[in-house]
Amino acid sequence: MSELYGRISEVLISGNIEEIKKLTQQALDGGTQAGEILGKGLLPGMDIVGQQFKACEMFIPEVLRSAKTMHAAMDILRPLLSESEMAGSGTLIIGTVEGDLHDIGKNLVAMMLEGAGFKVVNLGTDVKPQAFVEAAKEHKPNILGMSALLTTTMPKMGETINALKEAGIRDQIRVMAGGAPVTQDFVDEIGADAYGSNAAAAVEKAKAFVGR
């Protein structure tokens, strides 16, 4: 059986969508539990994708392909997974801050976090501070992620953290921030909990927050 899990990981890393569908269904037909396929085949594969991306052995188009392959397998497994298995690593809400319409980097982070087992609520772009707050109240995430590509929109990150404080929920959520102009110094200045210098780093920080 470990050979099958290894094959699932390999196919995921290579980004073969049709093959992952076949292997996932084959494993289910053979009596393997959905949670086992996720935990022993898919998640280890996405861990390797993250490691290779960080080491510049994989690049964004390949990572996106692997993430889409993960999604194809999850489409098959999702109806069979229990609530506890679906909870995975935790819940994260993510969005590009108000005034900023850039989303490629943010979407890459979201897809890699989903691949790492997180439930991700993607709020999209141009997200107002109060919209982050409302989403946090609704979904009760472990982590809130903010992205900005324009220096003019970076102050909205600090405004969002202040809005979380005013709502009385800042201490319940870990806040991560990233984007091309964002720096560790800026993240420290606005009082966020972590800086994601790139997608792979963001996933590592998120895992650390939930004890993985």
In the 3-class helix/strand/coil scheme, how is 68-101 assigned residue by residue? HHHHHHHHHHHHHCCHHHHHCCEEEEEEEECCCC
Share the mean pLDDT of the chain.
93
pLDDT in tens, 81-99: 876 666 667 999 999 999 9
Whether domain 88-209 has CATH 3.40.50.10490: the reply is no
The pTM for the full model equals 0.79
Report how far residue 94's alpha carbon sits from residue 118's, in angstroms, rounded to the nearest whole number. Answer: 12
Assess whether pLDDT exceeds 80 at residue 78: yes
In the chain the first and final C-alpha atoms are separated, in Å, by: 24
Mean of the pLDDT values across residues 110-123? Answer: 90
Residue among 121, 145, 153, 135 nearest 193 (CA): 145
Percent of the chain with pLDDT over 70: 96
CATH class of 2-84: mainly alpha
- The ranges assigned to domains in the chain are 2-84, 88-209
Report how far residue 92's alpha carbon sits from residue 87's, in angstroms, rounded to the nearest whole number. Answer: 11
